[in-house]
Amino acid sequence: MFGGILWSRLRGPVAAQTDTRSKRLQRIQEALRENWFGLIVGNAFGAMITVIVAIWVQRFSSVQWVWHSLVHSLLQLVLSERALQGINSWLDWFGQNQPKFDFWMIYFAAICDDLGIPNIKTFGRWLWRKVRKEMRAAELKVES
């Protein structure tokens, strides 16, 4: 973020260009120049509050109750003790790190939203379409 802000501050206004990519970069640069503090600090506080609320709400969910009472009991019957310990240690690790994962995902999504950059879902769709198009082109080339 520091590099982007520094670049936008030092570069200043750019002459109008017709390329759509350059227009998007100009809008991102303008948003960084005008609202850099709110973009970094405001989104950090917003993401942290959201994560705290989400983690707190999850502790009282019916899914947690079902997992601890039913699924865990069934897994004890099916799996060996060692396999169950491996699964439990992985789930404990994930549980300890989930707030970090959630924070960075929400923070990144909020910054992308504020800058007008396509979000993760949109980027994933675009990437999947591109891969699928390449796969179809390769299939047509093989068939020819």
Q: Decide if pLDDT at 26 tops 60.
A: yes
Q: Does some domain include residue 132?
A: no
Q: Does some domain include residue 129?
A: no
Q: Does some domain include residue 142?
A: no
68: domain range? Answer: 2-118
Q: Does some domain include residue 144?
A: no
Span 50-103, pLDDT tens digits: 999 988 887 777 777 777 777 777 888 888 888 888 888 888 898 889 899 999
Total tally of structural domains belonging to the chain: 1
How many Cβ atoms are within 10 Å of 90's Cβ, its own excluded? 10
pTM over the 0.75 mark:
no
Span 93-138, pLDDT tens digits: 988 898 999 999 999 888 888 887 777 777 788 889 999 999 898 8
How many Cβ atoms are within 10 Å of 42's Cβ, its own excluded? 13
Q: Does some domain include residue 127?
A: no
SS3 of the chain: helix, strand, coil, percent, to 5: 85, 0, 15
